[in-house]
Structure 1
Amino acid sequence: MPNDVAVMPISPEERFSRLDPSQDRTGGELLALEFDCWAEGTIPPFTTAIGMKVRLRYATWGACEFAWLKAAGLDVSSATVDGWKRGTRLPDSTELKKINDAFWLRRRADLAPVFKDWLCGRGRGRHIEIWPCEGRDLPMEEIWVQRRWRSIVDAWSENDLQRLEGVWRKMTRGLGVSADDYVHVYHVAFGAGLR
């Protein structure tokens, strides 16, 4: 479980609501978004009653009980948590945000080994497709990143955008004319194939 304070907002909802949609995002931000989309699946929004309950049950499931809630900065009694689960109590907006944060802290920690296994082991030949910023005279690129998946997933699971940006810069260093040509991009996607 991470002990350090996250260097970016924990939940993808908060992180990406802060970004200006009219601006292109950095490669690290788009890597985080791609993994967050995989991790989220079809879970209802946290602002709905069922979405809150799903996240609360997931964050408190098993032997860890309230450890993930505490990691997200929420220190409440078991009676309060039981009331939220039964629907006899409702969390306030601050508590709701922290429940969502606890869900994402645990979800990333739980999925990191799965993603690494899939991308590093059974996913041999996986690459990242990069769409450059619109209006720039740069081609779409594909980079093969088999040896970097572990560091990418670790940075994502620890919610460390600075580390993701560092990995991204190393991966894209040889693309384009200047080192900064692919720092900001329009879109990234993970593809499969043999090299």
Structure 2
Amino acid sequence: MPEKNLDFGKFGARGIRGSEAVARKLDELAGGITTPVTARRGLMARLHYLTRSGKSRQAARGAGLTVTERTLKAWLEGKRRPARANLERIDAAYRAVRRQNVARHLLARLNRDGRGTRVEIHPLNQSQVPRPLQRVVEYRSMNVRRWDKIVSAWAAGDHQGLDAAWTADVLPDLGSQWGQYEYVTNVGFAA
């Protein structure tokens, strides 16, 4: 890969991996419950989402929520409150199940029957980098038509797969300097 960033931030540059910015945006597009899991309303909403059908319960178990039916019933009735570790498991299971449920619809919206989605890539922040070491990196905009690998890796929670799909399938379309966009401040798109 050209200009592979092996020691990112050494001279003061700031940013996040482009694939991480894409995952954040996909999470935002997927929507979901905004009330924190620590609030009763947020906890109940997540538990109802995870237990509304047998398929949801099975997906929640697969995502790491492995409590007995008796405990789950006590939580739903408000007789007991989950411990902090279980609250984290409930929230993680909710996010995993939500991603699986939304992925197919989101993929169709992003691909738009082969037309794709316009993506804006905001370059890394070089304000703390000494002037002679700064690169000329500018805002870029492009149309991404192939979202299949990206969305499937995101839905599975596969960060390495998402990074590989983003850097191998999307960034090379930027041209010869695509390695400069491995780290960014933001990636924006709407579907």
Length-normalised TM-score, structure 1: 0.78
Letter in 1 for 2:93: A
Q: Report if aligned partners of 2:56, 2:97 keep a CA contact under 8 Å in 1.
A: no
Question: How many residues align structurally?
Answer: 170
Q: Which amino acid aligns with 1:143?
A: M
Amino acid at match of 1:173: P
**Displacement, 1:65?**
5.3
Match of 2:35 in 1: 44
Question: In 1, are the aligned partners of 2:49 and 2:56 still within 8 Å (CA)?
Answer: no
Which residue does the alignment assign to 2:180?
181
- Classify 1:41/1:67 alpha carbon distance in 2 versus 1 (closer, same or farther; 3 Å): closer
Letter of the structure 2 residue corresponding to residue 168 of structure 1 = W
TM-score w.r.t. length of structure 2: 0.80
Which protein is bigger by CA-based radius of gyration? 2
Q: Which has the higher contact order (CA 8 A, sep 6+)?
A: 2
1:34-183 equivalences under 5 Å are 34-41=25-32, 43-64=34-55, 66-121=57-112, 124-135=115-126, 136-146=135-145, 148-170=146-168, 171-175=170-174, 178-183=177-182
* Contact 1:176/1:182, CA 8 A, preserved across alignment: no
Q: Residues of 1 paired with 2:89 and 2:143: CA distance?
A: 37
1:7 maps to none
Map of 2:16 onto structure 1: 25
Distance 1:42 1:60, change over 3 A: closer
Q: Which moved more, 1:37-46 or 1:86-95?
A: 37-46
Identity %: 32
Instruction: Please give the secondary structure, in 1, of the residue aligned with 2:180.
Output: coil
CA contact (8 A) 2:33 2:45 kept: no
Distance 1:57 1:109 in 2: 17
Gaps of 5+ in 2: 1-12, 127-134
Post-superposition Cα deviations, 1:135-162, rounded to whole Å, max 9, x if no partner, equal 242121112111x211111111011111
Do the aligned partners of residues 159 and 65 (structure 1) sit closer, same or farther apart at CA in structure 2, a change above 3 Å counting? closer
Q: Which amino acid aligns with 1:47?
A: T
- Superposed CA RMSD: 2.1
> CA 1:85–1:23 in 2, change beyond 3 Å: closer, same or farther?
farther
SS of structure 2 residue aligned to 1:181: helix
Shift >6 Å, 4+ stretches: none
